[in-house]
Amino acid sequence: MNGSTGTDTGANRIHIFDTTLRDGEQSPGISLNTAEKVEIAQQLARLGVDVIEAGFPITSPGDFEAVQKIAREVHGPIICGLARAQKGDIDAAWNAISDSERPRIHTFISTSDIHIEHQMRNTREDVKSGTRAAVAHAKSFCEDVEFSPMDATRADVEFTAEVCTIAVEEGATVVNIPDTVGYTTPEEYSKFFACLFEFAPSLGDVELSVHCHDDLGLAVANSYAGVLAGARQVECAINGIGERAGNCSLEEIAMLIRTREDAHGLSTGINTREIARTSRLVSRLTGYVIQPNKAIVGRNAFAHESGIHQDGVLKERSTFEIMDATEVGLDSNQIVLGKHSGRHALKDALEQLGFVIDGNALNQAFKRFKAIADKKKQVTALDLEAIVSDEMRERVESHDLAWFEVEAGSKVEPKARVAVNMPSGQEQVGESGGDGPVDAIFSAIQSATGTDAELREYHVAAVTGGDDALGEVTVVLREPADDGRHRTASGQGVATDILEASARAYIRALSNLLDGAAISEAGSATADVASNLTGP
């Protein structure tokens, strides 16, 4: 396969197309601001992905701004913007990505009859003419154009092949075959590719891609089947996040290709030692906790409970481990600082972790580091990641925690006083009781800010082990909108004190809710066109 994509086109090279910031952000409850999206994109570049699908620019001014900023500031990967097969979408996508060194427009239209009849309410002829016009228009802006026949695996293969042929004729350089609703099986997917090659020989002249959802738990298996069938690009997301049950997990497909190279002879450009850090960053910013038994990056992925397993691993790790934990960067907490470490030592440690910060940003991180180092015996690399990520988020919040007081005990009704720095610069103080100290703090924040959001989720996790571990709290809030659609937003907080971390997380979630960074529970950024903005 080849095509004018600007990527390495070796026959055995699999290109990794990351859609964490587009399909991943459409997960219910995820609301990333521009700074967070840029931070993730920079880390994806360090990870070595070939393409970053930075967003869906037409959905909102905020998404457009984020895609544009990524296009201007992130170097290395192709920066891609998604667009429906409509002129306005394509114009918006190009305006957002045009400053990238390597721009790509990704346009899509459904080819399944169920979508054509019930969602789009048009005809097969409309789909063909829409494909031709959309790809031609995108091609007028940039050389690198990707086309997706949405819901392809539930569509008539001959019709899908006809539509894909039109896309190639108009200049598409990549054709993606999405399993949009996670319906197909590996055997069916392989046969679908074989039929496409039979009915659309021109597909052999471009790069084929796979985009699989995990509704039946087959996203990675189906992606792998597509690769073996001839696809040379895999569309995936960190931690497998995405619409409904999520996408193909980037870390799983990347390590499958790396670990079983003996079976298929394929490779990627992924720097696997950045996998664990990227996973933690995305989990921290999205509020999506990684389950302990998650392959590759779960905390139990390289843990052994069984005595037989432990005995074997102690004698020879390969007896029960097919990968080395260091391959995915799970040894990154070797960096250790203490309360006597200075600013230079902190800066050097952060640079080792890939964070290049200076000036006021370094001063803020150092101030936070000293406050935490006074309470912890040692500050590890994982702590530093949490501190820096937390500070980066804090600088863009419209509301901020000033201070708090809590009175609680087995014989005392919990009470809390919380001061919040408001967008106006004023400090507002709220006071409230509650069922417990955390509930009292949340109620006091509501009193201070004059809000009444509903707490939907509350998660606490330790960044590292030990009695003095940093606690990381994730809060998801819900607020009914005027149009009756519920809106959700998440926030995270990090501190040695769980009450402080909880207050920070709640205020950040509230900021996202009030600042328009929330999403509807249907998963779309804008309600008026939500039904048509899902993507492949």
Same domain, 308 and 243: no
Same domain, 194 and 315: no
Residue 351 lies in a domain: no
Residue 130 lies in a domain: yes
Residue 1 lies in a domain: no
Distance CA 439, CA 416 (A): 9
- Residue where a domain terminates, one of 235, 266, 293: 293
Residue 415 lies in a domain: yes
For 493, the domain range is 400-520
**3-class secondary structure, 306:** coil
Whole-model pTM over 0.85: no
Same domain, 311 and 247: no
Residues 341-380: b if buried by 16+ CB within 10 A, e if exposed = beeeebbebbeeeebebeeeebebbbebbeebbeebebbb
Same domain, 428 and 500: yes
Backbone angles phi, psi at 238, to 5 degrees: -60, 135
Residue 182 lies in a domain: yes
Residue 81 lies in a domain: yes
Distance CA 521, CA 536 (A): 19
Q: Is 395 exposed, middle or buried (0-12, 13-18, 19+ CB in 10 A)?
A: exposed
User: Which residue carries 């001839």 as its tokens?
Assistant: 230
Q: Is 190 exposed, middle or buried (0-12, 13-18, 19+ CB in 10 A)?
A: middle
Same domain, 307 and 289: no
Distance CA 479, CA 485 (A): 9
| C-beta atoms surrounding 151 within 10 Å | 25
Residue 370 lies in a domain: no
Same domain, 151 and 24: yes
Residue 52 lies in a domain: yes
Same domain, 437 and 498: yes
Per-residue pLDDT of the chain (536 residues; tens, 9 = 90+): 333 344 555 789 999 999 999 999 888 778 788 988 999 999 999 999 999 999 999 999 989 999 999 999 999 999 999 999 999 999 999 999 999 999 999 999 999 999 999 988 999 999 999 999 999 999 999 999 999 999 999 999 999 999 999 999 999 999 999 999 999 999 999 999 999 999 999 999 999 999 999 999 999 999 999 999 999 999 999 999 999 999 999 999 999 999 999 999 999 999 999 999 999 899 988 888 888 899 999 877 776 555 544 555 456 666 666 777 778 877 545 566 777 788 888 888 787 776 777 788 788 888 888 877 777 767 777 777 777 766 655 555 578 899 999 998 888 889 999 999 998 889 999 999 999 999 999 999 999 999 989 998 898 887 766 666 778 898 888 886 666 667 788 888 888 889 999 999 999 889 888 876 555 544 444 333 444 567 88
- Residue where a domain terminates, one of 293, 311, 340: 293
Same domain, 74 and 212: yes
Q: Which helix (H) or strand (E) holds 94?
A: helix 87-97
| Contact yes or no for 206/3 (Cβ under 8 A) | yes
Sign of CA dihedral 534, 8, 34, 332: positive
Beta bridge pairs of residue 148: 108
**Residue 495's CATH number:** 3.30.160.270
Same domain, 243 and 319: no
**Residue 238's CATH number:** 3.20.20.70
Same domain, 307 and 202: no
Same domain, 418 and 321: no
- Residue where a domain terminates, one of 293, 311, 342: 293
User: Which residue carries 């998604």 as its tokens?
Assistant: 82
Same domain, 272 and 310: no
CA 516 to chain CA centroid, Å, is 19
Instruction: Report the number of distinct structural domains present in the chain.
Output: 3
User: Which residue carries 């519920």 as its tokens?
Assistant: 486
